[in-house]
Structure 1
Amino acid sequence: MTDSVSRHPLEQTAFDEWPAAVRALFDGTSLAGKIGFTASLLTTNTNGHVRTSLLGVGELYAPDARTLCLALWPQSRAAGVLAHGGRAALTFVCEAVFYQVQLRFEALQPVAGDASGLAYFIGSIDTGETQRVPYARLTGGITFELEEGGAAVLDRWEQQIEHLKQAAAVRGP
């Protein structure tokens, strides 16, 4: 370990509201420019097994500073856990910082006219933490590129975000 590394260990900060950069990432706008971003949603089933679901910006919407809405396939393991008032951790990289956020979720009612078949959830931040080190810069987490037909995926995401917005608005603060 070099002297500069030992004098500057891991930097950690705690939060209970989304930082501005994360709010901008999860604001449901300009999805085309955010393609490739991936968050990892970690849930634990009744057997104690940790499961990971990878989510893109078209499945995440933060209606306010302490809340996150998700759109999930209803048959997914994560949806099964969250449908029963489950807890989850969301991890991702934003602006060279690693985020880990503990959230409590509940199901949202589907909105009228939504034929997507998706299950919607709303979660509130329990605790959040950022981590970084001064000697290395995170350049990304898990990333992806859309294959042929990506325009259809982007259209679906935009519809999903609109449904998340509507579902969150019906529930209220």
Structure 2
Amino acid sequence: MTDSAAGKPTLEQQLFDQWPDGLRALFDGTSLVSKIGFTASLLTTDTIGHLRTSLLGIGELYAPDSRSLCIALWPQARCARALAQNRRAALTFVFDDAFYQVQLEFVPLPVDDDARDASAGLVCFRGSIDMGEAQRVRYARLTSGITFALEEGKDATLERWMQQIDYLKRAAGRSS
């Protein structure tokens, strides 16, 4: 894409195979209150080729290292079933004025029977980054993607998120 007036490219692309520092900090499992509203879209393909999407909040995403992302999904979610079958997904989101798409290959995380209450029945996966891409254009700044506001039960949701992140941290530690 070019700016016709100046003839200069306007699309800036950044490729990566490990989390840039800002994203690593976003997915580090800390300061969840300040990250409320962030939403990522997890795209999978089911066995008959249909695309499935799950919207994930910051309390369902944890990067244990620079090349991985652990996620927590409800077991009845179509994305959870699709991910268990074909193990590949793309995570898309807006962050720092850019559109991100990260291709990941997932494996299920082992279930910890001692911490089953903390998991709230979620199924968890660990994804390895295959390739990530950030896109920006000079003439427009992305200010948000899909975002949300917590309404009723905000404190209970934050508490659940903290428990989920703790569970993901323990599960990620067992799978290393």
Q: Displacement, 1:85?
A: 4.8
Aligned residue number for residue 169 of structure 1? 173
Q: Judge conservation of contact 2:47–2:85 (CA < 8 Å) in 1.
A: no
Once the two structures are superposed, the pairs formed by residues 143-162 of structure 1 within 5 Å of their partners are 143-162=147-166
1:15 is matched with which residue? 16
Q: 1:3 aligns with which of 2, 5, 9?
A: 5
Report the equivalent of 1:35. 36
116, 119, 124: which is aligned to 1:114? 116
Letter in 2 for 1:157: W
Q: How far does residue 84 in structure 1 lie from its aligned partner after superposition?
A: 2.9
Give yes or no for contact 2:28–2:64 (8 Å, CA) kept in 1: yes
Matches of 2:135 and 2:86 in 1, distance apart?
Answer: 28
Distance 1:84 1:100 in 2: 21
Structure 2: gaps (5+ residues): none
Gaps of 5+ in 1: none
State the one-letter code of the partner of 1:3: A
Percent identical across equivalent pairs? 62
- Partner residue of 1:134 out of 130, 134, 138: 138
Question: How far apart, in 1, do the equivalents of 2:14 and 2:59 lie?
Answer: 27
How far apart, in 2, do the equivalents of 1:113 and 1:46 lie? 31
**TM-score, scaled relative to structure 2:** 0.94
Deviation at 1:47, TM superposition (A): 1.1
Output the TM-score relative to the length of structure 1. Answer: 0.95
RMSD: 1.1
Q: What is the distance in 2 between the residues matched to 1:167 and 1:148?
A: 29
Task: Give the 3-state SS of the residue equivalent to 1:142 in structure 2.
Answer: coil
Alpha-carbon offset, residue 114 of structure 1? 2.2
The answer to whether the 8 A contact 1:31-1:58 is kept is yes
